[in-house]
Amino acid sequence: MRIAMLSPIAWRTPPRHYGPWEQVVSSLTEGLIQKGVDVTLFATADSVTEGKLESVCPRPWEEDRTLAPKVWEGLHIAHLMEQADRYDLIHNHFDFLPLTYSGLIRTPMLTTIHGFSSPDILPAYRKYNGRTFYVSISHADRHPDLDYLATVYHGIDLQEFTFSNRPGNYLLFFGRIHHEKGTHEAIQAAKRFGMDLVIAGIIQDQQYFDAMVAPELDGLRIKYVGPVGQPEKSRLLSGAFALLHLINFEEPFGLSLIEAMACGTPVVAFGRGSIREIVIDEKTGFIVGNLDSAVDTLKRVGQIDRKDCRTVVEERFTREQMVEGYFRVYQRIYEKTKGKAVK
C-alpha cells in the first residue's frame, strides 16, 4: 500500500523544538517505514525521513517569515493533490483545508483531527463527513456531528526519553506560552508551593508573555529557557519534580504529558479535555480542579512511583502502538475502497 503522508509546514518534520503535529507525523512515518510500508512524506524541504520526501516549501514558515504561509501552504497541498493517483491513501495531518480537494481526486483521504482550533472550522469537517475518513486523537476531542473510524492516541519513541527514578528539585512547565496552556497558573502554583519553576516552550502569545509571565521571571526561582528540543527536552523532563499542566482549555491530547511520564515525571493537571484519558489519578500524577488543589497535591507527588509513570507509557503510548493503530485504520479504509485487505 502506498501512503502519502501530508504534514504541516509551519515547522520541520520532525521539528527542531516545538511542532507537535509535525512530531506525530514524523514518528508515524518512520514507524510505518520500519514496518515495511511504502510512505512518501510531504513536508518542508529540510525535513528528515528514512522514506521518500516530496516538498515545494524550502523551509518552515515559522522559521522564515519571508515565506507567506497561505501561499506556501496552498502550493504544498496542491503538490500532493496533483499527483494523488500515485497513492492508495492520503493521510492528512493538515487540518481541514485538504478536505476541499477530496471531491476532485479518486484517492481516499484519512484525516487525523488534531483538535479543533475554533468552531468556525466545523462546516468543512461536516461537509466532508462520510465522503472522507476521520480519526480522533482522544475520545474527549470527538465532535458529535462527525463520524470517526477510530481513536488513535499519540505515541512516542521511548528511546528518546531517559527514565529517572529520582525526583528532581524543580517544577516544569513545558509547552506553548499562552493563556490556554496555563503558564501563569503554573507560576502561581510553584510560588505558593515554594519550589523553583522552569518554563520551556515557544512564546505563542507575546502580549500574554509580556503581561503575565515576564514580570515573574527572576532567572533563579522562576526562569524561562525558551524552546527546547532533544536531547535537552529529555533532560529537563526527567530532572523535574513534576510537570504542571494547569490548562484553561479542553486539551485535545497533550504530548508533553506522555513525554514527562516516559521520563518518570508525574503530572499535575486540570482535568479538562483528554487529561483523564492520559493521566491516571494518584498513579501517574494528580488530576485537580483548581489552583488550590494543585498546590495541595504537590505535597503528595513523592507518593507517586515514578516507575509506574514509565510503565503506563510503555503499555499505552508508544510509537509502535500508534503505528499499529493507524495500520488497522488503513486496512479498514482499503477494504472499504478496494474490497480487499492491505498486503
pTM of the model: 0.95
**For 193-197, what is the mean pLDDT?**
98
Give pLDDT, residue 339.
53
Q: What is the DSSP letter of 66?
A: T
pLDDT at 228 over 70: yes
pLDDT tens per residue across span 28-40: 999 999 999 999 9
Residue showing cell 518542508: 44
Contact 277, 283 (CB under 8 A): no
**For 270-280, what is the mean pLDDT?**
98
Three-state DSSP class for 117? Answer: coil
DSSP string, 171-213: EEEES-BSGGGTHHHHHHHHHHHT-EEEEES-BS-HHHIIIII
User: Which residue from 150, 190, 167, 185 is spatially nearest to 331, judged by alpha carbons?
Assistant: 150
State the angle between helix axes of 183-193 and 291-298 in degrees (0 to 180), rounded to the nearest 10.
50
**For 6-30, what is the mean pLDDT?**
97
**For 252-260, what is the mean pLDDT?**
97
pLDDT at 251 over 60: yes
104 exposed, middle or buried (CB, 10 Å; 0-12, 13-18, 19+)?
exposed
pLDDT at 201 over 60: yes
> In the chain, what are the domains?
2-155+318-338 (3.40.50.2000), 158-316 (3.40.50.2000)
Q: Buried (b) or exposed (e) across 46-59, using 16+ Cβ within 10 A?
A: ebebebebbbbbeb
Task: Outline where DSSP puts E strands in the chain.
Answer: 2-6, 38-42, 52-54, 89-92, 109-113, 133-136, 150-151, 170-174, 196-200, 222-226, 242-245, 267-270, 285-288
Give pLDDT, residue 117.
86
Give pLDDT, residue 96.
97
C-alpha gyration radius of the chain: 20
338 or 10: which leads in pLDDT: 10
Distance CA 135, CA 142 (A): 9
**For 317-328, what is the mean pLDDT?**
98
Average pLDDT score, the chain: 96
Question: Which cell is 48 given?
Answer: 528528515
pLDDT at 340 over 60: no
**Cβ-based neighbours of 190, under 8 Å, separated by 6 or more:** 171, 196, 197, 221, 222, 244
pLDDT at 150 over 70: yes
Give pLDDT, residue 343.
39
**For 237-259, what is the mean pLDDT?**
97
Q: Going edge to edge, which strands form the sheet with 170-174?
A: 222-226, 196-200, 170-174, 242-245, 267-270, 285-288
Contact 272, 289 (CB under 8 A): no
pLDDT tens per residue across span 85-99: 999 999 999 999 999
262 membership: H or E segment, kind and range? helix 255-262
